[in-house]
Amino acid sequence: MPKVSVVPPRRDEDRRGWLRGAPPPRWVRVLPLAMVAAICVATLLSPDPLDIGFLLGAIPPMAVLSYSPLATAALGATAIALLNIPDLRLDRPGNTDLLTVSFVALLSVFVSFVRSRRDAQLTLASTVAEAAQLAVLSPLPERVGPVRCAGLYRAAQRGTLVGGDFFDVREGPFGVRVVMGDVQGHGLAAVATVASLLGAFREAVLDERDLASVAARLDRRLLVDAADARLDELFATAALLEFSADARQVRVVLCGSPPPLLLRGAAVTGLEAPPWTPLGVGLADPAAIETRTVPLLPGDRLLLASDGVMEARDRSGEFYPLAGRVAALAGGDGDPDTLVQRVWADLRAFGPTVRDDVSLLVLTPSSPARG
C-alpha cells in the first residue's frame, strides 16, 4: 500500500471565490428553487395581486450558474408556467411578458450549455495535469528494501499537487538511497526542475557507487538544465541518505538542506553532516564531498522535513519548532505514517496559514534480523 499523502490546499486557503473559478456554494444552487417557492407563497398569501411576475425572469439566469442545460430549461419552463396560473394572479401578464421570460429562458439554456462544455474541458485539462504531476511524484511504497517509509506532500500554490519540493526512496545495487530537496521557485514553474532532478536521482541510484557521486550527478544535471534554458542560476537544496544493506547504518550528505532528525526513544538529534553547497552551483570533485556515517539501533526513526515546515510561523511570527515538538508526537505507535500525520496536524494547528510547500518523510530502518 502506498504511503505518501498528496494533500490539496485546505478549503479556507482557496481564496479564488466562486466567481473566479471555484465551485459555486450550495446556496447558489438553492437560490432559483427558493425564489420559485417565495414567489408562489407570497402571491397565495397576499389578499391583493402582486406585481412581482418580473422576478420569474431572473430564475433561468440564476440557474445558469450551477445547473445543467436540461435543469435550466426545466426551471425556465416552470417560470413560464407560473405566469399562466390564474390563482397566482401575477398581474395578468401579457404576451410581451411571456415572450420576454421565454427569450430569457432560451438564452439561459444556451449559456448553460456553453458553460457545461467549458467546465467539461477544464475538468479534462485538470485531470491530465493532475496525472502529469502525480507521475512526477510517484507513489512511495510502504517498504523499500529494509526501510519502512511514509511521506506527505503539500504544494503551496493553489490548484496544484506538486510544487518545488521533491523526495524519493529507491533501492539499487548499492543500497537504499533517499533524497529530499527544494528547488528554486514554487508552483508549476518548478515542476520541470523537480522532474529533471528526480530522473537524475533514479538513474544515479543504479549507476553511482557512493552517495557523494549521486550528489555530484544531481548538481551536474542542474548545471546542464540552466545552460539549456539560458538561466543565470538554477539551484536546489537537498539531503541525501544511503542505508547499508543490513540497515544498521546510514550515510548522510547535506547540500544546503536542514539535517534529518534521528528519533531514538525520547531523544531527538539532528544528523549534522559537513555542509556542502546547494545543488546547481558547481560542486567540486565528488571525492571532496564529505559524507557522515551514523550507526542505527533497533527502533530508530529518521524524519526529513522541507524548509516549508521549519519556516512555518504562528500568529506571533514564531517559527515552527519541529525538533522541540516531534518527540511528543512520536510517542506510542511506531508506524511511520502515523508520525507523518501527527506532524502535519500539529503544523496546521500551529500556524493558521502554511505558505510554502511542505514535505515530510519518515524512514524506519529494520534489518531482516530485526523483523
pLDDT averaged over the chain?
83
Inter-CA distances, 174 with 199, 242, 245, 311, Å: 18, 9, 8, 34
Give the predicted TM-score (pTM) of the model: 0.71
What is the average pLDDT across 67-87? 87
| pLDDT value of residue 47 | 81
pLDDT (tens digit, 9 = 90+) per residue, 113-162? Answer: 998 888 888 777 777 766 666 666 777 889 999 999 999 988 777 666 67
Query: For residues 46 and 88, what is the distance between their CA atoms, to the nearest angstrom?
Result: 10
User: How distant is the alpha carbon of residue 15 from its chain centre?
Assistant: 15
Provide the pLDDT confidence category of residue 12 given band limits of 50, 70 and 90: very low
| pLDDT value of residue 260 | 94
CATH superfamily of 137-365: PPM-type phosphatase domain (3.60.40.10)
The residue among 350, 362, 303, 357 whose CA lies nearest residue 7 is 357
Domain boundaries, the chain: 14-131, 137-365
